[in-house]
Chains A and B, each alone.
Chain A
C-alpha cells in the first residue's frame, strides 16, 4: 500500500508534468488528483506498523510507519493537500507551472518516503529527492539562483553527506541499515564512532531544521521559493530535520555518557537560534523574509524542546511542530495571496489591505496570534509547556533567553500585521480584490486549526503521546501531558475554554462595534504626509512611516546584526574559490610542463620506492 502510494505520487508527478504540456487545465486537475488521491489512500489505507520490503543491490529497503512518523506524515499530507489546493489558483498564469507541480508532488512523496523509511538507505534516498526537488523550487522563479540556490544546495549537501557518512559507518560496524538495529545496537559501535555518528547526524538534521550556524540558507531559500511551496517548505520539510533529531536524541544521545553535554549544547544552540532569528526577523521589511526568519526562530524553540528531552519538553516541541506547520503554512499563504493580488510583498509599498482582503486578514490575525504565543491559541500551549519543561530542568538562563525571543517576537508579529493590513489604504491598491476562494479556504482552515487545537489540545496530545511512548517515554497514568501545570491544575477536558469564551466575546464585541461604527468620519491623509522639518523631501525618498519602522530597536541590536555567520561563510567560500583558482594553474597549458610533471612523478616514485613497496 505504501509502495503504491509513493508510486502514485511519482507517476502522478510525471503525468502531471506531461499533462501540463497539453493544457494547463489538465495539468491542474492531474496535479490535484495526484496529491489528493494518494493522500486519501494514506489516511484510509495505511495502518501503523505495516512493513514492506524491497530489495536493491543486495540491500533490503524496509518501509513502514511508526506512531512517531505517523504524526509527522499527517502534517505532510494535510499541509500538502491544502497547499495543493491553494497552489492551483496561485500558479495560474505563471510560468513553469509544470515544474512547480512536478517538484511539489515529489516533495510530498519524498517526505512521506522519509517518514516511511525504516532503513537508512531509503531514508537517504528520499532525503535527497526532497533536497533536490525543494532546490528546484527555490530557484524556480529564477531570482538569485546562483547565490541562494547554490547556498541552499551546498548546505543540504553537507547535511546529506554527513548523514551518508554516518550511515555507512554504522553499516560497516553493525552490518545493518535498519534504523531500529542501528539504534538498538548503538552500544556496539566503537567509542569514537559513538561520538562521531550522532554529531554527523545532528549536522545532517540541523541543516534541514536550520539550526544556528547552519541556518544561513533558510531565510533566503524560504523567501525565494514560490509562496505556495514555502508553506510546505517551512511547515513540513524543515520538520524532517526535527523528526531525525528526535530519533537521534532519544535513541543515540541517551545511550552516550556525554549525552547531557550534547543535549545542553544543542539546547543552547536552539535558544540562540530562536533569539537571533527573532531579532533578524524584526529588521526585515519584506513579509517573506520576515516569515522566513521567524520560521528559523520557531525551529529554534522546537530544537530547544527536543534537546532538553524531558517528556514535557518533547511534548511541547512536537506540539509546536504541528501547530507551527499550521500557522506558518497559513501565514505563507497569506503572503502568497498578497503577492498574487498586489504583486509585491514589501511592507513599505503595501498597506491597508484589511478592507480589501478581509478573509486573508482574519487568517493572518489568527495565525499571528498563534505565532506570538498568546492565549488562547495553540501557540500559547506549546510555549507554556516549553517554559515549564525548562524550568523543571533548571535551565533558567535558557528560559530567559527564550522569553526574550518570545517577547521580541511580538514586535515582528505586529509589524507583519500592521505592514500589510493596517494603516491607510493607498489609492495605488484600490483595485485589489480578495484572493480567490480556493486560496482563502486553505489558509482559513489552517488558522482555524490553530484555534481548535488551542482549545482542545488533547486532540493533538493523543497522537503525540503515542509517538513519544513509541520512542520510549514512559507515561505515568497513560498521558504525558498531565505533567504540565496547565492541565494538571485545570483538568484536561475543559482546559482553556473559559478563557476562550471571554476572548471570543471581546473579539465579537469589537467586531460588531467596528461594523456598526463603520468607516464614516475617518480622515484620509497620505501615508507619506509627515512632517519634514521644513525640508522638502526628494522625489525618490520613501517617507512612508513604515520605513525604519523599528529603527530605535534596530539601532539597539545593531552590534548583534553585524556579526552574521553568512559573512564568514561567504568569506570562506571566496577563499576556497581563490585557492581553487590557484590550484588549477597547475595545468599551465604547456605540454612540456606536463611531461616534466610525469618525469617528476616518476622520479619521486623511484626515490620513495622503498617506502612504498618495501
Chain B
C-alpha cells in the first residue's frame, strides 16, 4: 500500500491552506499546485483501488478511535471506484481549465482553482467517509465550493443560479441534520456501519421519517425531479469546466450518498420502489424538458439530470446486475458528459447567449471539436459501438431480469426523445449555415488533450467493455455485501 485514504482529504486541505502562502511569492503556483495535488490523488486512488480489489476494503481510523467511537474512512471497491473516477475527472477539469483561465487575474484564478480542488475533495469526502455527520460536513464543503464556482463569472446571471442552488442547498442541509439527529436520538451512534447494524432496532415510524428526510436532502443534491430546479441553472451559468465537474463529480457523490443510505444504512424494502419512481419521473421530465431547450448548456444539464434518473432507476432494481448497470451508467456519464460540456462550451464560445442555434455550421470551422461533440452525443444516447451502449444494455438486461417490462418500454421511449434532441444539435453543427460571422475560438492545447483523452476512453470502453467491467463487478459486489461492510468497519483497528 502506498498511502491511506485519509490523504485524499488531508493533502488537498494542506494544499488549500498552503496555496495562499506560496501564491504570495510564486503566482503561477496557484494554478499548478491543485493540479499536482489532483495528479497525486489520482495515482493514490489507482494504487489503492488495485490494492482493494485484491485485499479487500481499507478502513481508515481517524484520531485513533476505532469506528463506533471515532470517524472512519472506508475505501472499498465501491467507494474506491467512485473516488477514482472523481479524482480523474477533477484532474481533467483542472487540465482543461488550466489555460482557459489564463486571462483571468491572479486573485480570481487562485480562488477558482482552490474552489475547484475543494469541490473535488468535498465530493471525495462524501464518498469515503463512514460517518453520517461527517458526510454532512463534506456535503457543505462541496456545496459552498459549488455555490462560489457557479457564481464565478460576474457578467452573467450566474449569481441568480447560485442563489437558487444555495437556497435548495440550505434546505437540504437542514433536512439532513434533522434526519441525522433522528437517527442519533435512537441509536446513539453516528457511524454508518454501526447505524446499519442496529437499524432493525429502530422504531419503523421514526425510521421512515428519517429516511424520507434523507431522500429529500440528498435528492436535492442528486438532482431528483421535483428537487432539481437549481440544477439546470447552475450547470448552464457556471463556467464550462465547472458544469462538467458538476456532472462528472458532484452529482456522483450525491447519488453515492443516496445509495449508501438506501442500500447499507436503512433496511426499508419500500425504498427501492421509491428510487424507481423518483428516478423514472426525473428521467421523463428532464428529457422532455431537454428537447425544448434553446441553450446548449441547459440542454446538456437536463440530459445530465435525466441520466441521473436512469441511474436511480437502475439502483432501484435492487439486484446485483442493476447495481452493476447503474455504476456503469455513472462511469459512462462521468466520461461522456464532461466531454459534451467541454466541446459544447467551445462550440458556443463565440456567442454571448450560448444558444443551440449558435452551433450552426461549426463543423467546418472547428471540425475536431465538432466530431468530439458528435462522438459524445452518439455515446450518451447509447449508440453502439460506443461506451454508452454497454451501460444501456446492462441496464436493460438487469431490468428485464426483474421483469420490469413497462419500465423498459418507458425508458426506451424516453431514449427516443433523447436521441432526437442530440441529433438535432449534431445536424445543426454539420449541416446548417453559420448565422454569425463571429470567429470560433480555437480550443487550447490542454483542452484538446482533455477532449481527446475522453473521446478515446469512450471508444475504448465501447470496443472493449471488459476493460472496466471487472472493477464494476467488484464495486457492485462490495455495495451489495452489507454485512461485510459492517463487519470490516466495526472490526477495524489502527493499522
Contact between A and B in the complex (any CB pair below 8 Å): yes
> Is B412 in contact with A164, judged by CB distance below 8 angstroms?
yes
> Is B220 in contact with A168, judged by CB distance below 8 angstroms?
no
Which residues 363-401 of B have a CB within 8 angstroms of A?
378, 383-385, 389-390, 393-394, 396-397, 399-401
Contact of A580 among B175, B292, B390 (CB under 8 A): B292
> Is A606 in contact with B209, judged by CB distance below 8 angstroms?
yes
Q: Provide the residues of chain B in CB contact with A595, threshold 8 Å.
A: 167-168, 171
> Is B420 in contact with A154, judged by CB distance below 8 angstroms?
yes
* Closest partner residue, chain B, to A594 (CB atom): B229
Also in contact, A139 and B384, with CB within 8 A (given A612-B208, A613-B208): no
> Is A171 in contact with B397, judged by CB distance below 8 angstroms?
yes
Residue A145 CB within 8 A of the other chain: yes
Q: Provide the residues of chain A in CB contact with B215, threshold 8 Å.
A: 605
Which residues 147-163 of B have a CB within 8 angstroms of A?
160, 163
Also in contact, A164 and B396, with CB within 8 A (given A145-B427, A577-B292, A594-B229): yes
Chain A contact residues, majority secondary structure: helix
* Closest partner residue, chain A, to B468 (CB atom): A57
> Is A597 in contact with B469, judged by CB distance below 8 angstroms?
no
Q: Provide the residues of chain B in CB contact with A145, threshold 8 Å.
A: 427, 431-432
A581 vs B293: C-alpha distance when bound (angstroms): 9
Q: B99 to chain A: closest CB distance in Å?
A: 27
A592 vs B229: C-alpha distance when bound (angstroms): 10
> Is B270 in contact with A613, judged by CB distance below 8 angstroms?
yes
Residue A437 CB within 8 A of the other chain: no
> Is A124 in contact with B384, judged by CB distance below 8 angstroms?
yes
A586 vs B175: C-alpha distance when bound (angstroms): 23
Also in contact, A161 and B383, with CB within 8 A (given A154-B420, A587-B289): no
Contact of B466 among A57, A165, A591, A600 (CB under 8 A): A57
> Is A168 in contact with B396, judged by CB distance below 8 angstroms?
yes
Residue A601 CB within 8 A of the other chain: yes
> Is A612 in contact with B274, judged by CB distance below 8 angstroms?
yes
Q: Provide the residues of chain B in CB contact with A162, threshold 8 Å.
A: 412
A352 vs B270: C-alpha distance when bound (angstroms): 76
Also in contact, A149 and B423, with CB within 8 A (given A165-B396, A602-B216): yes
> Is A150 in contact with B209, judged by CB distance below 8 angstroms?
no
> Is B227 in contact with A597, judged by CB distance below 8 angstroms?
yes
A132 vs B462: C-alpha distance when bound (angstroms): 15
Residue B226 CB within 8 A of the other chain: yes
Residue B22 CB within 8 A of the other chain: no
Q: Provide the residues of chain A in CB contact with B466, threshold 8 Å.
A: 55-57
* Closest partner residue, chain A, to B205 (CB atom): A609
A168 vs B398: C-alpha distance when bound (angstroms): 9
A135 vs B160: C-alpha distance when bound (angstroms): 40
> Is A132 in contact with B403, judged by CB distance below 8 angstroms?
no
> Is B424 in contact with A132, judged by CB distance below 8 angstroms?
no
Also in contact, A150 and B397, with CB within 8 A (given A57-B466, A168-B408, A601-B226): no
Q: Provide the residues of chain A in CB contact with B431, threshold 8 Å.
A: 139, 142, 145
Residue B409 CB within 8 A of the other chain: yes
Residue B164 CB within 8 A of the other chain: yes
A19-58: CB near B (< 8 Å → 1, else 0) gives: 0000000000000000000000000000000000001111
* Closest partner residue, chain B, to A580 (CB atom): B288
B270-299: CB near A (< 8 Å → 1, else 0) gives: 110110000000000100110111000000
Q: In the complex, given contacts A57-B466, A153-B419, A164-B396, what are 11 additional A-B residue pairs having Cβ atoms less than 8 angstroms apart?
A: A125-B384, A135-B423, A164-B393, A165-B412, A584-B289, A587-B289, A594-B168, A594-B229, A594-B230, A602-B213, A614-B204
Offer 13 A-B interface pairs, CB within 8 angstroms, sorted by A. Answer: A57-B390, A153-B423, A158-B416, A162-B412, A168-B397, A169-B405, A594-B168, A597-B226, A601-B226, A609-B205, A612-B273, A613-B268, A614-B204
List the 7 closest pairs (A to B, CB-CB), nearest first: A594-B229, A584-B289, A172-B400, A591-B164, A161-B412, A168-B400, A125-B384
